[in-house]
Structure 1
Amino acid sequence: MAKKAVATLRTGGGQNLAKCIKMVKNPETGAYQFKETVTYKESAKDFFNKKK
């Protein structure tokens, strides 16, 4: 028999977070790399505006 999915309680702490993924070109090799981070939604634009 299949297991029944159980909903978990959310405290509301993680609802203001966003996962940001940015593609960055490596100056030495010219290859692209992906830079990932989990930030608050308010500071997501700061992450994308940073050069490095």
Structure 2
Amino acid sequence: MAKKAVASMQKGEGRAYAKVIKMVKSPKTGAYYFDEQIVHNDKVKEHLAK
């Protein structure tokens, strides 16, 4: 039932954003971690280029 409620609440505005997951190496330990951010669709390539 919850899935229906969440799906029906989505409007056109929510589709303009994407969740970007980027693997980043920590300078302190050298280990990799995942950086997750919500970015507007127009800025996805720009965000990944950093």
TM superposition score category, shorter chain reference: 0.7 to 0.9
- Where does structure 2 lack aligned partners over 5 or more consecutive residues? none
- Where does structure 1 lack aligned partners over 5 or more consecutive residues? none
Q: TM-score, length-normalised on structure 1?
A: 0.74
**CA distance in structure 2 between the aligned counterparts of 1:12 and 1:34, rounded to whole angstroms:** 28
Q: Deviations over 1:2-39 (max 9, x none)?
A: x6x56615431111110000000011111001100001
**CA distance in structure 2 between the aligned counterparts of 1:47 and 1:24, rounded to whole angstroms:** 13
Alpha-carbon RMSD across the aligned residues, in angstroms, is 1.9
Distance 1:41 1:30, change over 3 A: same
Q: Percent identity?
A: 40
Counterpart position of 1:32: 32
Aligned residues: 47
Q: Structure 1 residue runs of 4+, over 4 Å off? A: none
**CA distance in structure 1 between the aligned counterparts of 2:48 and 2:34, rounded to whole angstroms:** 12
Q: Which amino acid aligns with 1:13?
A: E
